[in-house]
Amino acid sequence: MTIVLYDTEHFETVETQVRLLNTGGHRIIVLAPEAVQVQLVAAGVIPGAHIHFRTLPARTWEHPGAVYRTCRTEKAGLLILATVSYQHLLFARACRRLRPLKILLGVHDLHDLFAPVRKASLRGMVQYVGRKQLSSAVSGYVVLLDELKTLLRKKFGVRKPVHVIPGSFYRPAPPADLDAPLRIVVPGSIDPTRRNYNDVRQLARALHREVPATITVVGGNPDGWRPSWFNDYEGTLQVHSGTFVEAEVYERELARAEIVLAPLPEVFRRSGHPDERYGESKSSGSFFDAVRHGKPLLLPAGVPVPELLAPMTLSYIDHEHLYYLVLALLQNPAARARLRDVAAAHAAAQTPEGVRARLLPALTGSS
């Protein structure tokens, strides 16, 4: 079978889907911008006999046509639209024209697709209608967490197939050195709407020059937002940011860390879009950064903990509680070692082989 994967943003999602589907029995065509292709290669997804890269046109309105032509020319048996952020109406039309091809749509923000905000402007109405038509035109959906699937069924009454494909698989790595300072990493886009950086600032301030622990913030900030205090707390706080952070740097800092800190807001808000809740209607890349590297996760108490992450997650009430959690781990090497080992053992169950046995027959009709 020929499988076409489309995405313009989330190379981690495409990487996971390629690893899942690349059994040697399928031909996989990845439609993505060159920047995403570079990240995929850095992550180990190399074009070859079974994996092929195709570069998308620069103009987004041409993407639906490129997807349509590729599926028709290559006689695709499965199309996965991993992320569709624009041109929903044109994608809906392309999907209808591709019937009876099996088409799965990746859903990252549940309310934004199934309960979009009605806007008075012409553009807003086109976007609203486009989202509705696209959700209707596809054969099924792909989500990252079981909780998102549950919400689709219970709240939105979705009856089409919903497949849960995790955002990443576990990669074995050397265990953290418990005699070294405790390394905390804050991964992901540097965006104040996605992370509460006050928790990071307060923790860095409390740890600075007093506690053998370090914090590394790593992620792109294409919008240019960077607080001035990122330059403070020398020796305690380190920041890797910029318009683009290379996958090698991102993965290196995650591998070096002992704990992943994800200071997510209880509600994710964007102007002109419905509210989303992490762990219920929206996932976070930080969840799967922790899984991929087998690291414990620190999460605010107001954010629901997905079942996938429960055994490897510690919740904190506020920045003071966060500080005392870090102190407690430093003062109790046995608890620190147990947390490390439990997280690694739990994450190790998230493998392509395990997910493949559960999902592949439903996705491709093969095993």
Tell me the per-residue pLDDT of 10-54, one tens digit each, with 9 for 90 and over: 888 999 999 999 988 899 999 999 989 998 998 889 999 999 999
Measured CA distances, 241 to 71, 204, 247, 335 (Å): 37, 17, 12, 32
282 in the same domain as 298: yes
- In whole numbers, what is the pLDDT of the chain averaged over residues? 92
pLDDT (tens digit, 9 = 90+) per residue, 67-81?
Answer: 999 999 999 999 999
What gap in Å lies between CA 206 and CA 202, rounded to an integer?
6
pLDDT (tens digit, 9 = 90+) per residue, 101-132?
Answer: 999 999 999 999 999 888 878 888 888 899 99
Please determine, for residue 357, whether its predicted confidence score (pLDDT) is greater than 90: no
**pLDDT category, 222, cuts 50, 70, 90?**
confident
Please determine, for residue 367, whether its predicted confidence score (pLDDT) is greater than 70: no
In a domain, 91, yes or no: yes
Output the pLDDT for position 180.
83
How far is the first Cα of the chain from the last one, in angstroms, to the nearest whole number?
Answer: 12
DSSP assignments along 236-290, one per residue:
TEEEE-SS---HHHHHHHHHH-SEEE----SSB--TTS--B-BTTTB--HHHHHH
Residue percentage of the chain with pLDDT more than 90:
76
In a domain, 175, yes or no: no
360 in the same domain as 330: no
The answer to whether the Cα torsion of 249, 255, 260, 261 is positive or negative is negative
Among 135, 159, 138, 142, smallest CA distance to 107 is for 142
162 in the same domain as 196: no
Lowest mean pLDDT among 20-24, 147-151, 169-173, 298-302: 169-173
In a domain, 264, yes or no: yes
70 in the same domain as 217: no
Output the pLDDT for position 136.
94
In a domain, 174, yes or no: no
For the domain that residue 246 is a member of, what is the CATH number? 3.40.50.2000
Contact 69, 34 (CB under 8 A): no
113 in the same domain as 40: yes
The answer to pTM > 0.85 is yes
Q: Compute the average pLDDT of residues 311-333.
A: 95
Contact 240, 218 (CB under 8 A): yes
Encoding tokens for residue 345? 């053992």
244 in the same domain as 151: no
190 in the same domain as 148: no
pLDDT (tens digit, 9 = 90+) per residue, 174-198?
Answer: 777 777 889 999 999 999 999 999 9
Lowest mean pLDDT among 4-13, 169-178, 200-209: 169-178
pLDDT (tens digit, 9 = 90+) per residue, 257-302?
Answer: 999 999 999 999 988 899 999 999 999 999 999 999 999 999 999 9
In a domain, 276, yes or no: yes
Lowest mean pLDDT among 54-63, 284-293, 358-367: 358-367
92 in the same domain as 105: yes
* Cβ neighbours of residue 149 closer than 8 Å, sequence gap 6 or more: 143, 162, 164
Output the pLDDT for position 366.
58
274 in the same domain as 147: no
In a domain, 176, yes or no: no
What gap in Å lies between CA 133 and CA 348, rounded to an integer?
39
Burial degree of 234 (CB within 10 A; 0-12, 13-18, 19+) = exposed
358 in the same domain as 223: no
Output the pLDDT for position 124.
81
Q: Compute the average pLDDT of residues 233-241.
A: 93
329 in the same domain as 190: yes
What gap in Å lies between CA 261 and CA 97, rounded to an integer?
45
The total number of structural domains in the chain stands at 2
Q: Are β-strands 51-55 and 78-81 bridged in parallel, bridged antiparallel, or unpaired? A: unpaired
Output the pLDDT for position 311.
94
In a domain, 9, yes or no: yes
Q: Which domain holds residue 124?
A: 2-167+352-364
Q: Compute the average pLDDT of residues 311-329.
A: 95
* Cβ neighbours of residue 141 closer than 8 Å, sequence gap 6 or more: 104, 105, 106, 107, 152, 158, 160, 161, 162, 163
318 in the same domain as 205: yes
Contact 4, 78 (CB under 8 A): yes
In a domain, 172, yes or no: no
